[in-house]
A and B are shown apart, each in its own frame.
Chain A
Amino acid sequence: MTYVGIIITFVFVNNFILTQFLGLCPFIGVSKNVESAVGMGFAVTFVMSIASLVTWIIYNFILIPLNITFLQTITFILVIATLVQLVEMVIQKISPPLYKALGIYLPLITTNCAVLGIALIVIRNNYSALESFVAGFAAGLGFLLAITPMSTIREKLDTEKIPKAFRGVPIAFITGGLMALAFMAFDKALLKNLLG
């Protein structure tokens, strides 16, 4: 598949939150205000791009030659946890302003299933190294694309009169459902028409 195809697939057609349900916990948990939602979105994009590349390298150059691919799950989760720590330290040293913006979200990312999800999915799809990186980056952008409007809507909802039973999390889910309905417009047929 071409790189453009991968980007469209992971940003729109297979949007991680709205069609695959990966990374739903931060989507509901961190979307209460726009600032933190955007911060989380960028942090996730950053970690996902690096994680998908690093896990690809480890899978193809360590796990396959040693014939221990069954250790995939254990290796990946440990690699991601280490990576998140490393990224946190590096950002803190190199760019304090960026650390200030993303810092508090980074530890939360380890248990974000979107990160482990993209690592496992690129292996399942037999992508090359660069394709994995692009897929990770695109999936992160898809996350950002979903969480930003969601947080804007939720800020507006705070001032609306919502029936008592739906206040808080239930209305967030229903909003997400309606957003997912909109994303149903992006399907495989659209991708085919676009790319021929």
Chain B
Amino acid sequence: MKDFMKGLFKENPIFIVLLGLCPALAVSTQVVNALGMGAGVIFVLLGSNIFVSLLKNFIPEKVRIPAYIVIIASFVTIVDLTMEAYVPSLSKSLGVFVQLIVVNCIILGRAEAFASKNTLGKSVLDALGMGIGFTIGLLMIAFCREVLGAGTITLFALGTFDGVIEIPGLVDAPARVIGLSAGALLVVGYLKSMFDTLQRRKKEKTA
């Protein structure tokens, strides 16, 4: 259980460890994109952690990094092709960032630091925790940016519901800059300072 929980907040990949920032900023313009990206990362992380953990005794020490990269790239290709086939609109709005999951440092980082040393069960929990933690971080950024920058929350369309929640007051006069690239960096800066403060308070309390 500890392996699962630590990824959520204590070692949150985005805000505490600062890994995987490039996709986090680029796809966080809408909540639905963040969900799609999160799902992709969870899948790849789970797949690579399982394979690395299973193959850890067979992969020679010297070529382990290239071997991990091939495993990760295979799963990324699966995600890329699946998204293109079944959710083309999402695949289009995520663009090149689906393929760029390959170089997302979280995934290689978990393979090297955790899955290559631990059992299958632990690795699965670790992958889920880290993946969900990444998605939570991504959702927080996307939520702030979409609500402030466009005054809407975009989710999946279901039946008569077209998937877009409009926030009265904000939708007519949103702070557009938050939705643009400059806003992404500002939002992450403020969120990171919040996380830092929370962490410091907690440390002071226990000390």
Interface residues of A (CB under 8 A from B): 18-25, 28, 70-74, 77-78, 81, 111-113, 116-117, 120-121, 124, 164-166, 168-174, 176-178, 180-181, 183-184
Contacts and interface: CB of A to CB of B under 8 A. Distances in A.
20 contacts: A21-B25, A22-B100, A24-B25, A73-B99, A74-B70, A74-B77, A77-B102, A78-B70, A111-B108, A113-B23, A165-B197, A166-B193, A168-B196, A170-B190, A173-B189, A174-B185, A174-B189, A180-B180, A183-B181, A184-B181
User: Of A77, A113, A121, A178, which is in contact with the most chain B CB atoms at under 10 Å from its CB?
Assistant: A113
Nearest to B186: A177
Contacts of B103: 77, 111-113, 116
B99 A177 contact: no
Contacts of A173: 185-186, 188-189, 192
B177 interface: yes
Q: Is the interface of A mostly helix, strand, loop or mixed?
A: helix
B186 A25 contact: no
B42 interface: no
Nearest to A121: B96
Interface string B91-119: 00000100110111100100000000000
Contacts of B173: none
Nearest to B191: A170
B58 to A, nearest CB: 19
B165 interface: no
Q: Which 3 A-B pairs have the closest CB atoms?
A: A173-B189, A177-B185, A170-B193
> Which of the four size classes fits the interface of chain B?
35 or more
Interface in B57-71: 66, 69-70
Interface in B158-194: 177, 180-186, 188-190, 192-194
A171 B66 contact: no
Given A77-B69, A111-B105, A22 B22 contact: yes
Interface string B64-93: 001001100110110011000000000000
Contacts of A121: 96
Contacts of A81: 66, 69
Nearest to A82: B66
A71 B193 contact: no
Given A25-B18, A81-B69, 11 more contacts: A22-B26, A25-B105, A74-B70, A74-B73, A77-B73, A111-B105, A112-B103, A172-B189, A173-B186, A178-B186, A183-B181
